[in-house]
Amino acid sequence: MARPPRQRPGPWVPLLLLLLAGPGTCAASPADDGAGPGGRGPRGRARGDAGADEAVPRHDSSYGTFAGEFYDLRYLSEEGYPFPTAPPVDPFAKIKVDDCGKTKGCFRYGKPGCNAETCDYFLSYRMIGADVEFELSADTDGWVAVGFSSDKKMGGDDVMACVHDDNGRVRIQHFYNVGQWAKEIQRNPARDEEGVFENNRVTCRFKRPVNVPRDETIVDLHLSWYYLFAWGPAIQGSITRHDIDSPPTSERVVSIYKYEDIFMPSAAYQTFSSPFCLLLIVALTFYLLMGTP
| Contact call for residues 45 and 56 (beta carbons, < 8 A) | yes
How does strand 238-239 pair with strand 158-164?
unpaired
Averaged over 159-172, what is the pLDDT?
94
Give residue 92's pLDDT: 87
List CB contacts of 240: < 8 A, sequence separation 6 or more: 142, 232, 233, 234
Q: Is residue 257 part of a domain?
A: yes
Would you say residue 285 lies in a domain? Answer: no
Kindly write down the DSSP assignment for every residue of the chain, as one continuous string.
Answer: -PPPPPPPPPTHHHHHHHHHH-GGGSPPPTTSTT-SGGGB-GGGPBTT-HHHHHHS------HHHHHHHHHHHHH--TT--SSPPPPPPPPPPPPPSTTBTTTBEEEEEESTT--TTTSSEEEEEEEETTEEEEEEEES-SSEEEEEEESSSSSSS-EEEEEEE-TTS-EEEEEEEEETTEEEE-S----EEEEEEEETTEEEEEEEEESS--SBTTB--TTS-BEEEEEEE-EETTEE-S-SSSS--B-SS-B-TTS--EEEEE-HHHHHHHSHHHHHHHHHHHHHHHH---
Residue 248 lies in a domain: yes
Structural domain range at position 185: 105-269
Segment 211-230, tens digit of pLDDT: 988 788 999 999 999 999 99
Instruction: Determine the Cα–Cα distance for residues 156 and 53; give it in Å rounded to an integer.
Output: 83
- Taking a C-beta distance cutoff of 8 angstroms, is the pair 63, 70 a contact? no
> Is residue 96 in some structural domain?
no
Query: Does residue 12 form part of some domain?
Result: no
Give, in degrees to the nearest 5, the angle at Cα 38 between 33 and 41.
20
Cβ–Cβ under 8 Å, residues 191 and 215: no
- With a cut of 90, say whether residue 261 has pLDDT above it: yes
Q: What is the mean pLDDT of the chain?
A: 77
Lowest mean pLDDT segment, chosen from 8-22, 149-163, 228-242: 8-22
Q: Specify if 254 maps to a domain.
A: yes
Predicted confidence band of residue 241 (pLDDT cuts 50, 70, 90): confident
Highest mean pLDDT (candidates 109-123, 168-182, 226-240):
109-123
CATH at 180: 2.60.40
The span from the CA of 46 to the CA of 196, in Å, is 70
Residue 83 lies in a domain: no
Give a yes or no: residue 37 inside a domain: no
CB 120 within 8 A of CB 250: no
Amino acid 236: pLDDT = 79
Question: What was the pLDDT predicted at 36?
Answer: 46
Residue 244: C-alpha distances to residues 54, 123, 267, 286 (Å): 80, 17, 10, 35
Angle (nearest 5°) at CA 150 between 146 and 154: 55
Count of domains observed in the chain: 1
Q: Is the pLDDT of residue 72 over 90?
A: no
